[in-house]
Amino acid sequence: QVHLVESGGGLVQAGGSLRLSCAASGRPFSSYAMGWFRQAPGKEREFVAAINWSGSRTAYDDSVKGRFTISRDNAKNTVYLQMNSLKPEDTAVYYCAADSNPIGAQAIIISDEYDYWGQGTQVIVSS
């Protein structure tokens, strides 16, 4: 069983930055592929960023590429999402997800591949 807890959300002005964290319980975290997804009001959940088990591969949605950075610290069982140059359209609930049995070494962008999800953290970007 894997338990994920997100933190770091909040209210920020456009152009500002936030860093989200996702702390994972369960072992071995270092074998999990991790991802961040978001859901804005009235919209479907969408992929944001992903990182493979070793941290050697990452993937980003085009809407956040160049502004967001995903990283992980396997010693701390934590994955991060650094969000810079935030825009009002980044407003959403952000969810951390874990694939506890990833196939291959790629970063996983498909939500159905993830079998554990956190409760989400709200990010609000004001204009």
CA 61 centroid distance within chain:
11
CA 16 centroid distance within chain:
18
- Do 19 and 81 contact (CB within 8 A), yes or no? yes
Give, for all 127 residues of the chain, the pLDDT tens digit. Answer: 899 999 999 999 999 999 999 999 977 889 999 999 999 999 999 999 999 999 999 999 999 999 999 999 999 999 999 999 999 999 999 999 999 988 888 999 999 999 999 999 999 999 9
The rounded distance, in Å, linking the Cα atoms of 69 and 85 is 12
